[in-house]
Amino acid sequence: MALLKAKKEEILKELDEAVSGAESAVFVNFHGINVSDETALRRKMREEGVTYRVARKTLLRRAFAGKAEGEIPSLDGEVAVVFSKDATAGAREVYNFQKTHQGILPILGGIFEGKFVGAEKMSEIATIPSREVLYAQFVNLINSPIQRLAVVLDQIAKSKS
């Protein structure tokens, strides 16, 4: 289906706005995903503040030209892009979806810290926990020695009484 020039310009403008406001972008191949799974994926991503957008590869290449250092990864198959203001949220949401839907929505690459990166690097980024989880882990790490000391002191007090 041919797109009118005005529609292409509108899509490019939307992609440009999304790219400029995003900390990261992930390119995925959505071939093989059914409508109900895609609807669930979009709903979950929206809840997490992540945007999922399907566009033609030529429009994606034009929208991302000059937006990051390096060369855009190979965009094979039917391509969608996932944007996020959180640097890891987009990749993490795709990764979480992949865990429950084997073989669907493979990561093709993306943009992270102003550079185009490949699928392997984006997959590594996807496994980084959210900021809230990292804060909780850090607090637990700091609190752990204090808790152990309190338990030991309590045991000593009990043994002396």
> How confident is the model over 31-52, as pLDDT tens digits?
888 999 999 999 999 998 898 9
Q: Which range is least confidently modeled, 6-10, 99-103, 130-134? A: 130-134
Q: Is 112 left (phi over 0), alpha (psi -120 to 50) or beta?
A: beta
For residues 18-38, give the mean pLDDT.
Answer: 88
H/E stretch holding 115:
strand 115-118
> How confident is the model over 69-93, as pLDDT tens digits?
888 888 888 999 998 888 888 999 9
Whole-structure pTM value = 0.77
Q: Does the pLDDT of residue 60 top 70, yes or no?
A: yes
Q: What is the rounded average pLDDT for all residues in the chain?
A: 86
Q: What local confidence, expressed as pLDDT, does residue 2 receive?
A: 64
Residues of the chain with pLDDT > 70: what percent? 98
Q: Closest by alpha carbon to 59, among 5, 129, 107, 120?
A: 5
The runs of H, that is alpha helices, within 22-130 are 35-47, 57-64, 89-100, 119-126
